[in-house]
Structure 1
Amino acid sequence: MPATILIVDDDKEIAELIEVYLRNEGYALLKAHDGVEALEKLKRHPVDLMIQDIMMPKMDGMELCKRVRQESRIPILMLSAKVEDMDKILGLMTGADDYMIKPFNPLELTARVKALLRRAGYQQQAVPEGAIRIGDLLIDRESHAVKVRGIDVKLTAIEFDILYLLAGNRGRVFSSEEIFERVWNEAGMGSNKTVMVHISHLREKLGAALQTGDLIQTVWGVGYKIEK
């Protein structure tokens, strides 16, 4: 699976800039805009590395780093506009693994992220044979398992079969009758309502897995369409 990186910065423009460069490298991204929100994200999602600002509302980066270090050894890259050597030393003593001064070169930040993950022993897991990966979503046909960022999403057998059908045929337009025939193995006359109910449940479960609509855009935004 791709490494999951948590970006913590109250400056939305900087957070979005980091997100663009790291997403292009294939990483899965989470974002938080203060230390309190970051701790909540860490409770709900497995994270492989955290990039965090120091000056933030509600809880500053130093306190956040201390809290994280009480329970986790994930690599932490601190970002700060503070240029004094003592600030850098304090950040590293608090528990950060690396420290970059703003403004920074996004390419250098990407290189440092890769180096921190290497030192932490992170290795990208291979996709099982017969499985399909789309961004943070893994659909394993052999075990009938669906995971989002390593977290199980509980689907019914019908929901799984619909998802696997669509995921294996990205860009293709399916009618409700065709989905019914392929999944239920029966004639699809008058099947529109049945199929759409299952599609609705599937969307809700996948969206809830990330607690945002991002996954729906990732999965359904690449050409999955259903003719009504």
Structure 2
Amino acid sequence: MQNRVLLVEDDEELRQLLARYLGNQGFTVREAANGRDGLSLALGQDCDIVILDIMLPDISGLEVLRELRAQTHLPVVLLTARGDETDRIVGFEVGADDYIPKPCNPRELVARLQALLRRIAWDQKNEVNGARVYGDLRVEPEHRRVLQNDLPVDLTATEYEVLQVLLAHAGSVVRKTDLMQWALGRRLEAYDRTLDMHISNLRKKLGNEDPPRIETVRGLGYSYRVSA
């Protein structure tokens, strides 16, 4: 079965180029030239993953993302202006799973999409052995759901993957290079703050604590603190 991609991009030349490339790589592609049409198609459950440009002519991609996150956990990869760190940071805060700067390399975009879809598919297929409890957290892999004190925690697909890796190694340090590879499916590049933003969002959603439950081990990586 082909993976269904929704491409929301107002630049017609770029949209057609990416759609053609994605189609040649085995994806079924739906297209939208503005935010409202993209939001409608995404909420219609007509795709498996969304590629979303931030700069759109009617409503911004970030506003589309906010609306999506209010109703669905559909994976979203943002297209951002190269060098615009603010858009990337806000995008992760709103709930993006990944980003790629424009002008983008179609081959890299496909690799990002495939890595994200593989992580989700592997988790759904293999982690069906019942709920697991880590202190105040209850993880239900079969439903890809996390509850804290019996209340659901609203996580993106990537945040869920990052948390799963940290919980699986609770009490030990997970190197950033390993966490990036295991949770996001790609290598850690210089100046790439993607992982840091996901960790920051997880800390906020799980409650800021002192000391934090997800600890930064300077020069190495992160560790999920085991409660005494």
1:118-149 alpha-carbon deviations (Å, 9 max, x no partner): 122279xxxxxxxxxxxxxxxxxxxxxxxxxx
Superposed, 1:25-174 pairs within 5 Å as 25-121=25-121
Q: Quick one: which amino acid aligns to residue 41 of structure 1?
A: L
CA contact (8 A) 2:82 2:103 kept: no
- Return the offset for 1:42: 2.3
Equivalent-residue separation in structure 1 for 2:78 and 2:3 (angstroms): 18
- Return the offset for 1:38: 0.8
CA contact (8 A) 2:69 2:95 kept: yes
Q: Quick one: which amino acid aligns to residue 50 of structure 1?
A: V
Equivalent-residue separation in structure 2 for 1:79 and 1:121 (angstroms): 23
Q: Quick one: which amino acid aligns to residue 30 of structure 1?
A: R
- Return the offset for 1:47: 1.1
Q: Quick one: which amino acid aligns to residue 80 of structure 2?
A: S
SS at match of 1:120: helix
Unaligned 5+ residue runs, structure 1?
124-228
CA contact (8 A) 2:42 2:50 kept: no
- Return the offset for 1:91: 1.1
Q: Quick one: which amino acid aligns to residue 64 of structure 2?
A: L
Q: Quick one: which amino acid aligns to residue 66 of structure 2?
A: K
Q: Quick one: which amino acid aligns to residue 107 of structure 2?
A: L
- Return the offset for 1:92: 1.1
CA contact (8 A) 1:9 1:53 kept: yes
Superposed, 1:159-198 pairs within 5 Å as none
Single out whichever of 37-46 and 73-82 deviates more from structure 2. 37-46
CA contact (8 A) 2:8 2:52 kept: yes
Q: Quick one: which amino acid aligns to residue 85 of structure 2?
A: D
- Return the offset for 1:85: 2.2
CA contact (8 A) 2:10 2:34 kept: yes
1:18-47 alpha-carbon deviations (Å, 9 max, x no partner): 111111111111000111001221244421
Q: Percent identity?
A: 38
Equivalent-residue separation in structure 1 for 2:36 and 2:103 (angstroms): 24
* Distance change in 2, residues 1:62/1:122 (3 Å): farther
- Return the offset for 1:83: 1.5
- Aligned partner of 2:195 in structure 1 is none
* Distance change in 2, residues 1:35/1:72 (3 Å): same
- Return the offset for 1:11: 0.3
Unaligned 5+ residue runs, structure 2?
124-228
RMSD over aligned Cα atoms: 1.7
- Aligned partner of 1:6 in structure 2 is 6
CA contact (8 A) 2:43 2:68 kept: no
Equivalent-residue separation in structure 1 for 2:45 and 2:93 (angstroms): 26
Single out whichever of 23-32 and 81-90 deviates more from structure 2. 81-90
- Return the offset for 1:82: 4.6
Q: Quick one: which amino acid aligns to residue 90 of structure 2?
A: L
- Aligned partner of 1:19 in structure 2 is 19
